[in-house]
Amino acid sequence: MDLLLDIASAILLLTGGFFVFVGGFGVMRMPEFFTRMHAASLTDTGGAALILLGLMLQGGLTLVPFKLAAIFLFLFLTSPTASYALANAALLSGVSTACRNETGAPLPENEVDSADSKPASKSVAKTSASRTSGRKTTAKQAAEQAAPKAAARKASKKAAKKPAGKAAKKPARKAAKKAAGKPAGKKS
Amino acid sequence: MAVLGLYNYFIFAVLLMIGLYCILARTNIIKSLIGLTIFQGAVFLLYISTDKIDGGTAPIIQEGVENQIFANPLPQVLILTAIVVGISTTALALAVTVRIKEAYGTIEEDKIQEMDREL
Amino acid sequence: MEWVYFGTSIAILVTMVLAVVRGLIGPTIFDRVLAVNMFGTKTVLFLAVISFLSGRPDFLDLALAYALINFIGVLAVLLFFQSRGVRRDAEAEREADK
Amino acid sequence: MITIVFSLFLLTMLVIVAVGILRTDNLFTAVMLSGIFSLIMAANFFILDAADVALTEAVIGAGISTVLFLGALALTAEYDRSPPVGTWVPLLTSSALGGVIIFATLQAPRLGDPNAVVHKHVAPWYLDRTPELIDVPNVVTAVLASFRGYDTLGEVFVVFIACIGVMSLLGRVRPRRDSIEEDEFDKRTDNLRHHLIPRVVGKMLVPFIVLFGLYVQFHGDFGPGGGFQAGALIAAGVILYSLLEGGPRGRELVPEWFSSLLVALGAFTYTCVGVVSMAMGGRFLDYSVLSHDPVHGQHMGILIIEAGVGMTVTGVMITIFHAFSRRGIR
Res D319: pLDDT = 92
Q: Which domain holds residue C65?
A: 2-97
Say what the pTM is.
0.84
Interface test with B, best of D5, D76, D169 (most B CBs within 10 A): D76
Compare all CA atoms of chain D with the CA of A74 and give the residue at the minimum distance.
Answer: D205
Q: Does residue A136 belong to any structural domain of this protein?
A: yes
Quick one: which H or E segment has residue A115? none
Which positions ≥6 away from D195 have C-beta within 8 Å? A84, A85, A88, C78
Determine contact: C91 vs chain B, CB below 8 A: no
Spatial separation of the C-alpha atoms in residues D38 and B38, rounded to whole Å = 9
**How high is the pLDDT of residue D207?**
94
Mind telling me how many Å the CA of C80 is from chain D's nearest CA? 7
CB D261 within 8 A of CB D163: no
Q: Read off the pLDDT band of D164 (50, 70, 90).
A: very high
Q: Which structural domain range is residue A60 located in?
A: 2-92
Domains: count for chain A: 2
pLDDT at B59 over 70: yes
Interchain pair A184, C82: CB under 8 A: no
Of B34, D20, D22, nearest to C26 by C-alpha is D20
Residue-range domain boundaries for chain B: 2-56+69-118
pLDDT of the residue at C15: 92
Please give the helix or strand (H or E) that residue A40 lies within, else none: helix A33-59
User: What region, left, alpha or beta, does residue A35 occupy, with left being phi > 0 and alpha being psi -120 to 50 degrees?
Assistant: alpha
**Closest CB from B8, B63, B76 relative to D7:** B8
Q: What φ, ψ does residue B28 adopt, rounded to 5°?
A: -75, 130
Q: Is C27 in CB contact (< 8 Å) with chain D?
A: no
User: Using an 8 Å Cβ cutoff, are D254 and D244 in contact?
Assistant: no
Q: What's the average model confidence in pLDDT over D66-91?
A: 81
CB under 8 Å to D44, separation ≥6 — which residues?
A: B45, B48, D7, D10, D11, D14
Closest residue by Cα to residue D53 from A159, B116, A77, C62? C62
Distance (Å, rounded) from C-alpha D236 to C-alpha D68?
Answer: 11
* SS3 at position D322: helix
Q: How confident is the model at residue D266 (pLDDT cuts 50, 70, 90)?
A: very high
User: What pLDDT band is residue B97 in, cutting at 50, 70 and 90?
Assistant: very high
CA distance B68 to chain C (A): 12
| pLDDT (mean) for D248-261 | 88
Tell me the pLDDT band of A159, cut-offs 50, 70 and 90.
Answer: very low
Nearest-by-CA chain B residue for C59: B58
Lowest mean pLDDT among D9-18, D190-199, D294-303: D190-199
* Whether D302 contacts D134, CB under 8 Å: yes
Q: What is the mean pLDDT of chain D?
A: 87
Nearest to C63 among A18, A71, A181 (CB): A71
Q: Do D29 and A187 touch (CB under 8 A)?
A: yes
In single-letter form, the type of residue at position A143 comes to: A
Tally of CA atoms within 13 A in the half-sphere of B44 that contains its CB: 30
pLDDT at res. D211:
94
| Domain boundary pick from A37, A69, A92 | A92
A11 and A71: one domain? yes
Percentage of residues of chain D with pLDDT beyond 90 = 39
**Per-residue pLDDT reduced to its tens digit, B10-56:** 999 999 999 999 988 888 899 999 999 999 999 999 999 888 888 88
Yes or no, beta carbons of D50 and B92 under 8 Å apart = no
Mean pLDDT, rounded, of chain B: 88
- Verify whether the Cβ–Cβ distance A88 to D24 is below 8 Å: no
Q: What is the pLDDT of residue A96?
A: 67
Q: Do A85 and D202 touch (CB under 8 A)?
A: no
User: Does A37 sit within 8 Å of C48, measured CB to CB?
Assistant: no
Q: How far is CA A174 from CA A134, A180, B8, D40, D94, in A?
A: 21, 10, 45, 36, 38
Per residue, the 3-state secondary structure of A117-141, as one string, reads: CCCCCHHHHHHHCCCHHHHHCCHHH
Q: Tell me what pLDDT residue D67 has.
A: 92
Label residue C4 exposed, middle or buried (CB < 10 Å: 0-12, 13-18, 19+): buried
Cβ of D97 under 8 Å from any chain B Cβ? Answer: yes
C-alpha distance from D67 to closest chain C C-alpha (Å) = 6
| Count of domains observed in chain C | 1
Q: C-chain residues within 8 Å CB-CB of B58?
A: 56, 59
**How high is the pLDDT of residue A162?**
42
- Per CB-CB distance under 8 Å, the chain C contacts of D202 are 75
B11/chain C closest Cα distance in angstroms: 17
- CATH, range B2-56+69-118: 1.10.287.3510
A63 and A145 fall within a common domain: no
Contact D32/C39, CB-based, under 8 Å?
no
Q: What pLDDT is stored for residue C93 in this prediction?
A: 76
Could you give the residue ranges of the DSSP H alpha helices within chain D? 2-23, 27-47, 51-59, 66-75, 88-105, 123-133, 139-142, 149-170, 182-187, 196-218, 227-245, 247-253, 256-279, 294-328
> What's residue A164's pLDDT?
42
Q: What average pLDDT does this structure show over D87-105? A: 88
The shortest C-alpha distance from A162 to chain D (Å) reads: 32
Sequential DSSP letters for D112-148: B-TTSGGGTTTHHHHHHHHHHHT--SBHHHHIIIIIT
Residue closest to A176 by CA, chosen among A167, A185, A166: A185
- Please state whether the peptide bond connecting residue C27 to the residue before it is cis, i.e. omega within 30 degrees of 0: yes
Q: Any idea which of B115-119, C7-11, D155-159, D303-307 has the lowest mean pLDDT?
A: B115-119
Query: Quick check: C69 and D70 CB within 8 A?
Result: no
Cβ neighbours of D151 (radius 10 Å): 14
Q: What is the structure's pLDDT at C96?
A: 80
The Cβ of residue C42 has, within 10 Å, a number of other Cβ atoms equal to 29
Per-block mean pLDDT, blocks of 10 residues, chain C (98 long) = 88 92 86 90 91 85 89 89 76 75
Partners of D243 on chain C (C-beta within 8 Å) are 72, 75-76, 79
Q: How confident is the model at residue D179 (pLDDT cuts 50, 70, 90)?
A: low
Does A93 reach chain D within 8 Å, measured CB to CB? no
Query: Measured between CA atoms, how close is A129 to chain C, in angstroms?
Result: 16
Q: A touches B (3+ CB pairs < 8 Å)?
A: no
3-state secondary structure of D258: helix
Rounded to 5 degrees, φ, ψ at D26 are -95, 120
Does A124 have pLDDT greater than 50?
Answer: no
- C-alpha angle A181-B91-D267 in degrees, rounded to nearest 5: 155
Q: How far is B66 from chain C (nearest CA, A)?
A: 14
Residue D161 pLDDT > 90 = yes
- Give the pLDDT score at B53: 86
Q: Return the partners of chain C (3 or more C-beta pairs < 8 Å).
A: A, B, D
> C interface mutation test: which of B52, B54, B57 has the most C CBs within 10 A?
B57
